[in-house]
Amino acid sequence: MASSERVTELLGAASRGDRAAADEVLELVYGELRSMAAARMAALPPGQTLQPTALVHEVYAKLAGKAETDWRDRRHFFATAARAMRHHLVDEARRKGAQRREASLGERSLDTIDVDGSDDAVDLVALSEALDALEASDPLKSEIVHLRYFAGLSIDETAAALGVAPSTVDLHWKYARAVLRRSLDGR
């Protein structure tokens, strides 16, 4: 894992337009971003064409291409990366859903993934909508879902990223999953 202070320093320099710092940040965090992507991709149904490396490159291009990147610190960068992964995967699910409708295959509905480790798969687009509603009412719980679910961080890693106790993350994670499950079941 890259030094948090070094990454924060480089993110600040990259925010000020230092391209060399941006490149160095990528080198330092690439492995972690790839692990995040691999964890997320492992939960998708078989037959996915998107690979973790491609997801990392898409996310990094999106993050690096932002006109204004005011990365406060390593935590902010990875939280933003988790959100970018979510949005890219939702866009992919929507694209595939549109292709399926156009082809009139009549197969399973949109790509599904497991929101909480149970066998009940959920629609990624529906999950994203439910997560938007959770974010409006409780941004911390939403951030925990992004880090746990989309970034694949453990309870302890999420707690360290947020600067809170693991028991706090665990409690909020359980609550957020229940809220999301209730929202998804109500569809």
Instruction: Please check the confidence at residue 175 and state whether its pLDDT lies above 90.
Output: yes
Write the pLDDT tens digit of every residue in 65-77.
665 566 777 777 8
Q: SS3 sequence, 38-95? A: HHHHHCCCCCCCCCHHHHHHHHHHHHHCCCCCCCCCHHHHHHHHHHHHHHHHHHHHHH
Write the pLDDT tens digit of every residue in 143-163.
999 888 877 788 998 898 888
Mean pLDDT of 12-27: 81
Tokens 């690439």 belong to which residue? 30
pLDDT score of 113: 34
The Cα diameter of the chain in Å comes to 52
User: How would residue 86 be classed by pLDDT, with cut points 50, 70 and 90?
Assistant: confident
User: How would residue 125 be classed by pLDDT, with cut points 50, 70 and 90?
Assistant: confident
User: How would residue 187 be classed by pLDDT, with cut points 50, 70 and 90?
Assistant: low
SS3 123: strand
79 closest CA partner among 20, 148, 10, 134: 148
Instruction: Please check the confidence at residue 58 and state whether its pLDDT lies above 80.
Output: yes
Residue 127: strand pairing partners: none
Share of the chain above pLDDT 90, in %: 14
pLDDT score of 118: 43
SS3 113: strand
How far is it, in rounded angstroms, from Cα 8 to Cα 162?
15
* CB-neighbour burial class of residue 161 (10 A; exposed 0-12, middle 13-18, buried 19+): buried
pLDDT score of 60: 77
The residue ranking higher by pLDDT, 93 or 6, is: 6
Instruction: Please check the confidence at residue 2 and state whether its pLDDT lies above 70.
Output: no
DSSP 163: T
pLDDT score of 69: 62
Work out the number of other CB atoms within 10 angstroms of the CB of residue 168.
15
**What global pTM score does this model have?**
0.57
83 closest CA partner among 32, 171, 143, 141: 143
Residue 112: strand pairing partners: 123
pLDDT score of 32: 83
Mean pLDDT of 26-35: 83
Residue 103 amino acid letter: A
CA quadruple 141, 147, 153, 157: dihedral positive or negative? negative
Contact call for residues 45 and 111 (beta carbons, < 8 A): yes
